[in-house]
A and B are shown apart, each in its own frame.
Chain A
Amino acid sequence: DTAVSQTPKYLVTQMGNDKSIKCEQNLGHDTMYWYKQDSKKFLKIMFSYNNKELIINETVPNRFSPKSPDKAHLNLHINSLELGDSAVYFCASSPGAGVTNTEAFFGQGTRLTVV
Chain B
Amino acid sequence: AQSVTQLDSQVPVFEEAPVELRCNYSSSVSVYLFWYVQYPNQGLQLLLKYLSGSTLVESINGFEAEFNKSQTSFHLRKPSVHISDTAEYFCAVTPAGGYNKLIFGAGTRLAVHP
Contacts and interface: CB of A to CB of B under 8 A. Distances in A.
Contacts of B46: 103-105
B49 A99 contact: no
A67 B38 CA distance: 27
Interface string B88-110: 10100000011111111011000
Interface string B38-62: 1000111110010100000000000
Interface string B6-37: 00000000000000000000000000101010
A56 interface: yes
A99 B106 CA distance: 27
A33 B43 contact: no
Given A41-B88, A41-B107, A42-B107, A104 B100 contact: yes
B43 A44 contact: no
Interface residues of A, number: 30
B32 A102 contact: yes
B42 A108 contact: yes
24 contacts: A31-B100, A35-B102, A40-B106, A41-B106, A42-B104, A42-B106, A43-B104, A43-B107, A45-B101, A45-B102, A48-B101, A90-B43, A92-B44, A94-B100, A96-B99, A97-B99, A101-B98, A101-B99, A102-B49, A103-B46, A104-B46, A106-B36, A106-B44, A109-B43
Given A94-B100, A101-B100, A103-B46, 20 more contacts: A31-B100, A33-B101, A35-B102, A40-B106, A41-B38, A41-B88, A43-B90, A43-B104, A45-B102, A45-B103, A50-B99, A92-B44, A97-B97, A97-B98, A98-B97, A99-B97, A101-B98, A104-B100, A106-B36, A107-B43
Interface of A: 4, 31, 33, 35, 40-45, 48, 50, 55-56, 90, 92, 94, 96-99, 101-109
